[in-house]
A and B are shown apart, each in its own frame.
Chain A
Amino acid sequence: MIVAERKPFDEIKNMVSGYKRVLTVGCGTCVAVCLAGGSKEVETLNAELNLAFGKDKIKFGAETLERQCDMEFLAELDSKIDEYDALLSMACGAGIQFLAERFPNKPVFPAVNTSFIGVNLDVGWYEEKCRACGNCVLAMTGGICPVTMCAKSLFNGPCGGTNQGKCEISNDQPCAWYQIHERLAAQGRLDQIIAISPPNDWSNQKPRKVIQPGYEERVKTLGR
């Protein structure tokens, strides 16, 4: 899932000051699971904002959509949007942008910092796992991502800085390439990393679209 953290309160406060009616929009999917932008967090943020501004100065509304990255759910706001002069979104960056696209006349502000694609290690504890590089090499690396988990995103590690299984950047950070070696060795698959991995195609460096096979015709008729 996508993991986000709420922005520092003062930053949020500065963005919305100057508006009279602000709608805080949460998202019920990833940001709710990682405890950053679901309905509970919308409530908490609005309570803090009310306390900071005083109820008369700014009126804060609250809505939490099932998913902000899905037009169907954004449509639910159509009838309410006129009551507000700014939107504060607690979704990930994708959701926030989609919201802004749906309501191009309204200022939309991000209340969270979208941080990474990660996993849940424990309640409130998440770890980055993927940088959406667009060219997944997990088959070669025993299921450990060298782009994300190696501090230098190396494709032919471990580098000379690896330190008894730890990464050179910190003793708290395992060396991804050490782990890749261990896992492949245990599976008898070290030959996977004997060949030189060629320069990567960093496909994620330009705006991307994916159309799944089977839907191409349909997309054409939409003409977008």
Chain B
Amino acid sequence: MKSGSKLERILNAGHFAFTGEVGPPRGANVEALKEKVAHLKGVVDMANITDNQTAMVRMSSWAASLICMEGGVEPNFQMVCRDRNRLAMQSDILGAYAHGIHNMLCLSGDHQQFGDHPQSKGVFDLDSMQLIGMVKKMRDEGKFLGGADIDVPPKIFIGAAANPFAEPFEWRVHRLAKKVTAGADFIQTQCVFNMERIREWIRQANDMGLTDKVFILPGITPMKSVGMAKYMKNKVPGMDVPDEIIKRLQGVDKKKVADEGIKIACEQIQEFKEMKGVAGVHLMAIEWEHKVPEIAERAGVLPRPEV
């Protein structure tokens, strides 16, 4: 066991993992955060706590992770390279671990120009690959990036992101391989809408032996509306929404679109349960946390295993 986190125990035991996501509030609204977390309790194995997502200021990820933990859901502390240098990153990792946080997702982060402080100085002292390597070094060697010994190293289960849909496609699996070499223990992917692409990417990862070394959790996002699907297709960088999805949503009665979105998500989860090399799914129900229990139920991932 590298960290002993619940997610690690579930994955090591060979269960199909089911993780969720919580965006911290744009303010100190603890009640709103607790409510989101309550919807996920007992339903997901772990919830990602985003870090100034889309470069908008929010409650810090480690602080919201603590509140999540109090609410009975294991957090996945997200950290982006945009806002901190290597000193701040390492001290936050120590602090988070000291409070019992055992999962971390290492990301480069959306560029600051997208958010509410476009004039800010992006830090990017490290990139996501280097961040993964730093956490591994802290955990396995008990050393800071600078080389000094750590007095009680943080035992972190290291997560990383992959986007199997961004060009150049043939490079995506190599980038996955690099993240595995850097030290990633699990991978959560960008929202999957193009099943053909992800099948091919997983097949490549299987062929390269990567799925024996890392747990892969494809990202699932249920579409709430045709507008959302179109927005994701056209406006969100790195998102691959095939026309069939939009046509399928357009094809049902207006009142049934959200339901159809959930149906698509459930079908995807079904397929992933059977796909070799897939260890679970990561559900990103953006501002739809109250629907997660229903989606989990319909996808047949309940009850969650006790480990």
Contact A163 B237 (CB under 8 A): yes
Residues of B within 8 A of A163 (CB): 166-167, 237-238
- Find B108's partner among A154, A182, A198, A202 (CB 8 Å cutoff): A154
- Find B130's partner among A159, A164, A194, A198 (CB 8 Å cutoff): A198
- Closest CB in chain A relative to B300 CB, distance in Å: 29
Most A CB atoms within 10 A — which of B82, B163, B171, B181? B171
0 or 1 for each of A146-187: is its CB under 8 Å from B? (1 = yes): 000001111111111111110011000000001001100100
Q: At the interface, yes or no: A44 with Cβ under 8 Å from chain B?
A: no
How far is it, in angstroms, between the C-alpha of A199 and the C-alpha of B86 when the chains are bound? 9
Residues of A within 8 A of B163 (CB): 159-161
Given A154-B127, A168-B237, A196-B129, the answer on whether A161 and B181 have CB atoms closer than 8 Å is no
Contact A168 B238 (CB under 8 A): yes
How far is it, in angstroms, between the C-alpha of A160 and the C-alpha of B162 when the chains are bound? 7
Residues of B within 8 A of A182 (CB): 168
Contact B238 A161 (CB under 8 A): yes
- Closest CB in chain B relative to A170 CB, distance in Å: 8
Q: At the interface, yes or no: B259 with Cβ under 8 Å from chain A?
A: no
How far is it, in angstroms, between the C-alpha of A169 and the C-alpha of B162 when the chains are bound? 19
Stretch with Cβ within 8 A of A (4 or more), from B40-48, B118-126, B279-287: B118-126
- Size class of the contact patch on chain B: 35 or more
Contact A157 B127 (CB under 8 A): yes
Chain A residue with Cβ nearest B167: A164
Contact A168 B110 (CB under 8 A): yes
Residues of A within 8 A of B130 (CB): 155-156, 196-199
Contact B168 A196 (CB under 8 A): no
Given A152-B124, A155-B130, A199-B126, the answer on whether A169 and B171 have CB atoms closer than 8 Å is no
- Find B174's partner among A152, A153, A194 (CB 8 Å cutoff): A194
Residues of A within 8 A of B76 (CB): none
Contact A152 B82 (CB under 8 A): yes
Residues of A within 8 A of B161 (CB): 160
How far is it, in angstroms, between the C-alpha of A197 and the C-alpha of B238 when the chains are bound? 23
Q: At the interface, yes or no: B81 with Cβ under 8 Å from chain A?
A: yes
Q: At the interface, yes or no: B248 with Cβ under 8 Å from chain A?
A: no
Contact B238 A160 (CB under 8 A): yes
Contact B181 A196 (CB under 8 A): yes
Contact B111 A161 (CB under 8 A): yes
- Find B133's partner among A190, A196, A202 (CB 8 Å cutoff): A196
Contact B237 A155 (CB under 8 A): no
Residues of B within 8 A of A157 (CB): 127
Which 3 A/B pairs are nearest by Cβ-Cβ distance? A160-B163, A168-B237, A156-B129
- What 17 additional pairs, Cβ within 8 angstroms, besides A151-B111, A154-B108? A151-B113, A151-B122, A152-B81, A152-B82, A153-B122, A155-B127, A157-B127, A158-B168, A159-B128, A160-B238, A161-B111, A161-B237, A161-B238, A163-B166, A168-B111, A181-B171, A196-B181
